[in-house]
Amino acid sequence: MPANRNALIRYSTIDKCLRNRYRKWTLNDLVEACSEALFEYEGIDKGISIRSVQYDIQIMRSDKLGYNAPIKVIDRKYYTYDDPEYSITKLPLSDNDLTKLNDAIEILKQFKEFNHFKDMSSIVQKLENKIYTEQNKSSDIIHIDKNNLLKGLDHLNGLFAAITKKRVIMIEYKSFKAKQSNRIYMHPYILKEYNNRWFVIGRVHKQGDILNLALDRIISFKEIDDIKYKRDKDFDPDLFYKNVIGVTVNKNMFPRKIIIRANKRHAPYMITKPIHHTQELLSEDEKGIVISIDVIPNFELEKVLLSFGSDIEVLSPPSLRNRILELLQSAVRVYDNTI
C-alpha cells in the first residue's frame, strides 16, 4: 500500500506529536497539528477531518506500512505511544525500500562524473553503506560523525519549506549573549552547515542586512502572510562565502592575505587538508612550510588557528598575529590560575 506525500506528512506529524511526552494529545490536537504541517509543507489550507486522522492512526497501528505503531489511548481521550522509545523514523528499511534505494544509487552513479554533481560521491557512499548494513545486518562500514544532542535540527524542514515557498518568517531568537529573546523578520535565502551546526541565512526585513542565525538559538518561527518575500538577485551564496571560513561575514571588511608557518610535524596535515580553498604553499624546508590564505578575518578563523596549538604560527598580518597571541596568553592565565 503506497503512501502519498500528504499521508507521509501526516504520519510524520502524528509520530512527532506522540513522541512529545511533555503534553497530552487529543484527537483534535493531532488534527490541528496535521493541518498546520500540510499548510507549512504543501500550502494546503483547507485542513483535514477527524476521520482522516483516525484512519491514519489505524494505518500506523497496522502492518500495512510496516509501522505496527504502539499507539494507545489514555482515559479514552489522550493519544500516546505505549513505548516511549518508539518512532516510525527508527524502523528498519523494508526489502522494497532497499530495492528502490539500490535503483536510485545506480542512477546517481551515472551522473557523479558531471561537474554539477561533483559533490555526489559522498552521498552515494553513505547510501551504499546504509543499504549494505541493512541487508547484511552488520555494523557500519562508513562511520559518519554525528551529534544527536544538537538542538534546533527540528527547525530544518520548516525553514527549508519557507525558503522553497519564498515566504518571510518571523523568528523568536535568543543569542548566547542576550538576556531575552527578540523577534526578527527575515527573508530567508539558504541553510548552511558549518562545524556540525546549522544556520539560516537571509536578509533582515527593512534593515536590509544579511544575517546568519544559528538554528540552536531559534526558539520558534512562523511564516508571515502580510509581508511580501523579496529575493535578492545580487546574493550569491558561493560568492558571499568565497573568502570566509565559517558563516560570519564581517561588514566592510575585505579579504586579507594570512601567512602561516606550520612545523614539520603538522605540515603534511595542512598540505593534504587545506584550511581554505585559497591556500597556497609559499615555501618548504626541513623545519616545515609557510602557506597563505586569502580570507576575511572572523571568529571562526581564530578558532581554527587556535585549534592547531603550537604546531603553527601566524606570521601576518600583525593585527591577527597579535590577536592570536592575546588569546593564547589568556588561555595560559586560565591554567595558571587553576594550578
Q: Please provide the DSSP assignment of 15-83 as one string.
A: HHHHH-TTS-B-HHHHHHHHHHHHHHHH---S---HHHHHHHHHHHHSSSSS----EEEETTTEEEESS
Q: Is it true that domain 256-338 has CATH number 2.40.128?
A: no
CB-CB contact of 58 with 7 (8 Å)? no
Residue 176: Cβ-neighbour burial (10 angstroms; 0-12, 13-18, 19+): exposed
Q: Kindly list the distances between the CA atom of residue 36 and the CA atoms of 14, 30, 39, 120, 169, in Å, as whole numbers in the listed order.
A: 12, 10, 5, 33, 15
Rounded CA separation 100/22 (Å)? 37
CATH architecture of the domain formed by 153-240: Roll (2.30)
What CATH code is assigned to 5-90? 1.10.10
CB-CB contact of 270 with 322 (8 Å)? no
Rounded CA separation 290/104 (Å)? 45
Query: 195, 215, 212, 194: which is closest to 204 by C-alpha?
Result: 212
| Res 229: pLDDT | 93
Per-residue pLDDT of the chain (339 residues; tens, 9 = 90+): 345 788 889 999 999 999 988 889 999 999 999 998 888 878 788 888 999 999 999 999 998 888 899 999 999 999 999 998 899 887 766 666 667 777 776 766 665 555 555 566 666 666 666 666 666 666 665 565 666 667 888 888 889 889 989 999 999 999 888 888 899 999 999 999 898 889 999 999 987 789 999 999 999 999 998 999 988 888 899 899 999 999 999 888 899 999 999 999 999 999 999 999 999 999 999 999 999 999 999 999 999 999 999 999 999 999 999 999 999 999 999 888 765
Q: Which residue has the cell 592575505?
A: 257
CB-CB contact of 79 with 18 (8 Å)? yes
